[in-house]
Amino acid sequence: MAKKQTNLCVAADLTIAADVLNLAKQVGPYICCIKTHIDVIEDFHPNFVRRLQEIAEMYEFMLMEDRKFADIGKTVQMQYSKVVFNISSWVTLVTVHSIFRKGVLDAISKVDSDRRKGVFLLAEASASGTLIDEKYTGETLKIASEYDGLIVGVVCQSPLFRDKKKTSSINTGSSSG
Ligand SMILES: O=C(O)c1cc(=O)[nH]c(=O)n1[C@@H]1O[C@H](COP(=O)(O)O)[C@@H](O)[C@H]1O
């Protein structure tokens, strides 16, 4: 991020593997991260992930899977590390709901992986009528500070971490739905 002088993360909200790869090649030089929703790729194949990793390495950006994990730890561990998507084998970053607190975060941190892992917790949401309120956001920030090594930031709508140098915010969701 510092080397490339960019904090841009691109949401690859596309459903065809080749479209995601083309987008990654086009924006690669300018971004620090691409965010995927791997479970909407209609023609998913493990080769797609390998190709995406190559592009990420070539242009030095990270891969984030916007899976928004929210379940008991044991289930999340499987969702994170098992086939078909085998997320833990190719991402650096994942998104997680804070609703399940400790269990889900412990589960993710326990999964063996050769690569560094970072979690973005959802602290605010763009969806209209969201059940996330100020208390929930405050509790999420507390959890974020308790898991310093694992949680690298929050997904939010306002600049929640303006004064905290070590933690990042991703502001996302211009359209609400
Ligand atoms: O976690 C997210 O990225 C996210 C949180 C949120 O509150 N709202 C939201 O739209 N997103 C994601 O942000 C992307 C859409 O962002 P826009 O293109 O700015 O509307 C999609 O990938 C959504 O899944």
pLDDT per position as a tens digit, 36-74? 999 999 999 999 999 999 999 999 999 999 999 999 999
Q: What is the pTM of this model?
A: 0.94
* 25 is an annotated ligand-binding site residue: no
Domain that holds residue 20: 2-171
Instruction: State which residues of the chain have pLDDT below 70.
Output: 1, 161-167, 174-177
Task: Name 1's Cβ contacts closer than 8 Å, sequence gap at least 6.
Answer: 7, 32
Q: 39 catalytic, yes or no?
A: no
The answer to whether position 130 is within a domain reads: yes
Predicted-complex ipTM score: 0.95
The answer to whether position 105 is within a domain reads: yes
Q: 148 catalytic, yes or no?
A: no
Considering its fold, how many domains does the chain have in total?
1
The answer to whether position 176 is within a domain reads: no
CATH of the domain at 94: 3.20.20.70
Q: 133 catalytic, yes or no?
A: no
The CA radius of gyration of the chain, in Å to the nearest whole number, is 16
* 176 is an annotated ligand-binding site residue: no
The answer to whether position 177 is within a domain reads: no
In terms of Cα–Cα distance, which of 135, 153, 137, 136 is closest to 145? 153
In short, whether 36's Cβ falls inside 6 Å of ligand 1 is: no
